Amino acid sequence: MNEQEWYETVAQLSCHKELGKKLPKALYLHRSALSETAPDFFSWIHQKATNSGIPEQHWNIVRLHKDCFKVTLLYYPDFYDEAYPSLHFSYGLDFASEKIKPTDFTSSTNPPILHRKEHMILPSDPNHADFCEITREGEAAGLYENTRIIGFRNSWETLIKDKGYELLDGRLFRRAAIDLTEPQTQHKVDRHKTALSRDSLSSPMKTLANNGYLKGQYTLFDYGCGHGDDLSELQAHGITASGWDPNWRPEGEKTEGDLVNLGYVINVIEDLEERADAVLGAWCLTGKLLVVSAMIASEQHIRKFKPFKEREDRLLTHRSINNTTWSAETAFLTDAP
């Protein structure tokens, strides 16, 4: 393969709608996706890597450069196991000069990390749905608002904490919901710790706002309002809003509202009947629209954890957090009584 053929092949792969993580000057692909989509091209790169002495087991991500006759082979050993895996090895192969540039990150305290993994594999990969959910969680938490600061582990972990989250078992949890002093084997569900103090509207409220429901034409009741941060923000903008929470605002009166929000409540109620009562209670207060939000995950990810009290519909992570569902998901229920 010559240089012109390289540019043509990379350009062709870049035009594939569902293939690769696309950057202005590079295309990232998992080796499985590249070998299936362009087997001859993959074989050529593979042979070049072998001839250069790069260990077979030391690369699983291919960075195809668009602006030069070069490939960078990357090794993320926990690509399938961690939500945001760290880079261990990098090998830059310059085909024009026939030079190789190896970099070892295994001893680094701040290695590069990987995001949006779903783009690097094919949609047919059994992990594709899980990877999509991981990205959706990060987007809902506001982690991708400034992509310049998310490339390395330290800044990424700092950003997660600044947004009020903690990364557990590969998924994002609100830090207020986590008691890090609890023994890992203790099956304790502290519902009151799920209330998050925020400096901006929650994802369900943002969804309402984006759909034109928070312009002041409707009253709102927040069923399970936590610390009441959403209420303070809404009231500051002239919206009639009230709320009730069994732990943080028990004195609040349960009142009817045109809009009723049941945000991230049902996923922290371990009793199925009590969970249903919460939904029904919120529904009975709804005048026009009920918004129910929870945390969801694919069956593949859920199978990693054991049932809570031998119930398949309730799960505990290794840090003792009840978690029937995982990533931010909002459902709208209309035609209220």
Q: Decide the pairing of beta strands 311-316 and 286-296.
A: unpaired
**Phi, psi at residue 149, to the nearest 5°?**
-110, 10
**CB-based contacts of 324, cutoff 8 Å, min separation 6:** 266, 267, 294, 295, 313, 314, 315
281 vs 246, more confident? 281
What digits encode the pLDDT tens for the residues 95-107? 999 899 999 999 9
Rounded to whole angstroms, the Cα distance separating 8 from 94 reads: 17
Q: What is the DSSP string of 76-141?
A: -TTTTT-SSPBP-EEEEEETTTTEEEEEE-TT-SS-BB---GGGGS-TTSTTHHHHHHHHHHHHHT
Mean pLDDT of the chain: 81
- Catalogue all structural domains in the chain, each as residue range(s) with its CATH number: 3-119 (no CATH), 175-334 (3.40.50.150)
With cut-offs at 50, 70 and 90, classify the pLDDT of residue 275: confident
Q: Average the pLDDT over 244-272 and give the result.
A: 84
Q: Whole-model pTM?
A: 0.59
Rounded to whole angstroms, the Cα distance separating 130 from 300 reads: 8
- Nearest residue to 69 (alpha-carbon basis) of 92, 96, 44, 47: 96
Query: Taken in order 301, 306, 309, 310, is the CA torsion positive or negative?
Result: positive
What digits encode the pLDDT tens for the residues 6-51? 999 999 999 988 889 999 999 999 999 999 999 999 999 999 999 9
Rounded to whole angstroms, the Cα distance separating 41 from 296 reads: 38
